A and B are shown apart, each in its own frame.
Chain A
Amino acid sequence: MALLSNTAALLGKELRTEFRSRELLTTTVVFILTIVVLFSFTFDPSVSESRRFGPGLLWLAFLFAASLMLQPCFLREQTNDTLGALRLSVSDAFAIFLAKLAANTLFLLFAQVLLLPVFSILYNVPILAAFPQLVLVMFMGSLGLSVTGTALSAISAQARMRELLLPLLLLPLLTPVLIASTEATAALLVPNPIMPWNWLGFLLAFDVVFLTALWLFGEYLLEE
């Protein structure tokens, strides 16, 4: 129970920090929008082509955005010298990770839900038929991105060239998330969408595996 209350308190801190500056969300949303627009020049954005390439394009944009957005996650604590205090304030270091990954999932999900209608309008892909299902896929995908991304941002923050290193470490690791989320999204963008339970199950498995790994090994990453 201490874990949950600690996590809730820390999550509150993360959200407050973000909503005071709104730097991270604004940049992420604009970044994804830029990629989505730039992609339109790389293929003929007709309806059928967009249905084929759209989901992959969208998830690739989310992946790149996440690998940049997760950068300051631990770096900020390090530059402000607050990691030690944070570590002392909770009994279980996992609470720090939980709070950060919950915050990152929320930010990503927010950006995705905001940009999904924009994508739908720009590429003429109807999304209303399966909007709640799409949000579920987005949630599972963002959770996968955030779990691994939060752990790896704690790793990259301790190395040189960290800005380049995080995408390098994170992107190959996210191959399964990219495939599963893209396939699940593609299944929901067709005229008669069916719920892609198999891919959702796969995303769930990914999330569970890495959440467990983070629970087991995360605290070692915060050792001074």
Chain B
Amino acid sequence: MSDWTSPKFDRSIGLKKRILIAAVVVILMTFAAYAALFVAPTESKMGTIQRIFYLHAPSGMVALLSFFVCFVGNLAYVFTRKPKWDWLGVSAAEVGMAFCTVLIITGPIWAHPVWGIWWTWDARLTLTFVLWLLYTSYLLLRTLVEDPDRRALISAIYGIFAFLDVPLVYGSIRWWRTQHPQPVIMGGAGSGLEPTMRKVFWFWFLNLVILMIFLIRERYALEAMRGEVQSIEREAEAT
């Protein structure tokens, strides 16, 4: 078993395999799209627009998962100081941002016909926006520090602070005001999805997790290569 965190691993896996994995991801996503559009039943009150739910809700869950991966990477970097954890941190943050952006865009598309408004300052919407801002700041901070070790360290600590803030932001807004539907998935008694809808939902979640892992891996390989180039450049400068 080779070490997946080493940049050399990436070359050993080869371009063909990576293209193959990408193809599998694309096929799975096609199946998922088919399932959401044709397999899942039409919701009785909201109609067809409700099908956006299969992209919307799992995107949010996967975005949070990515930010958690980023948090783990940040913590590991602070304690081990191995560049690979920094690479994982930035990769996961960027992928999380992508899913978060999908969440923010699909939300209003769904909300407008159903609630009659594009946006409302409710707990989960506001949390998503604040999350988006926090991780934009994280990525921005990274562009403003030259030295790679310094950049890795201070952005890791900011990342830790940002993730610790998430439950506090959610808690404060939740106390303050809320309009979003109560969690349907894993919610309290009386909530729940129709069985086919539930299957499609979890299929989507699984797919997006696979997509997330794929994207993080690819982004990680890029960052690893970048790190290697930088260290070679520094060596060349030194001699």
Contacts and interface: CB of A to CB of B under 8 A. Distances in A.
Most B C-beta atoms less than 10 A away, residue of A148, A155, A159: A159
B109 interface: no
Majority SS at the chain A contact face: helix
Contacts of B145: 158-160
B196 interface: no
Contact of B134 (A172, A213, A220): A172
A223 B153 contact: yes
A73 to B, nearest CB: 15
Interface residues of A, number: 29
Nearest to A165: B144
Interface stretch (A23-31, A32-40, A114-122, A203-211): A203-211
B49 interface: no
Given A161-B144, A198-B175, A202-B172, A152 B158 contact: yes
Contacts of B72: none
A221 B176 CA distance: 34
Nearest to A199: B175
Contacts of A21: none
A217 B173 contact: no
Contact of B144 (A159, A176, A223): A159
Contact of B158 (A161, A169, A176, A202): A169
B172 A175 contact: yes
Given A159-B144, A172-B130, A172-B134, A221 B157 contact: yes
A155 B158 contact: yes
Interface in B106-159: 130, 133-134, 137, 140-141, 144-146, 150, 153-154, 157-158
B164 A213 contact: yes
Contact of B175 (A152, A160, A173, A202): A202
Contacts of B78: 217, 220
B162 interface: yes
Contacts of B160: 213, 217
Contact of B172 (A155, A159, A173, A179): A179
A176 B150 contact: no
B146 to A, nearest CB: 8
A151 interface: yes
A155 B173 contact: no
Contacts of B169: 175-176
Q: How large is the interface on B (under 10, 10 to 19, 20 to 34, 35 or more residues)?
A: 20 to 34
A198 B171 CA distance: 12
A183 interface: yes
A108 interface: no
Given A160-B144, A206-B168, A210-B164, A172 B133 contact: yes
A28 to B, nearest CB: 23
Contacts of B165: 172-173, 175-176
A179 B176 contact: yes
A176 B172 contact: yes
B230 to A, nearest CB: 18
Contact of A205 (B130, B146, B154, B168): B168
A176 B174 CA distance: 11
Interface string A167-183: 01100110110011001
Most buried by A among B130, B161, B162: B161
A172 B166 CA distance: 11
A173 B162 contact: yes
A176 B137 contact: no
A15 B75 CA distance: 34
Interface of B: 78, 130, 133-134, 137, 140-141, 144-146, 150, 153-154, 157-158, 160-162, 164-165, 168-169, 171-173, 175-176
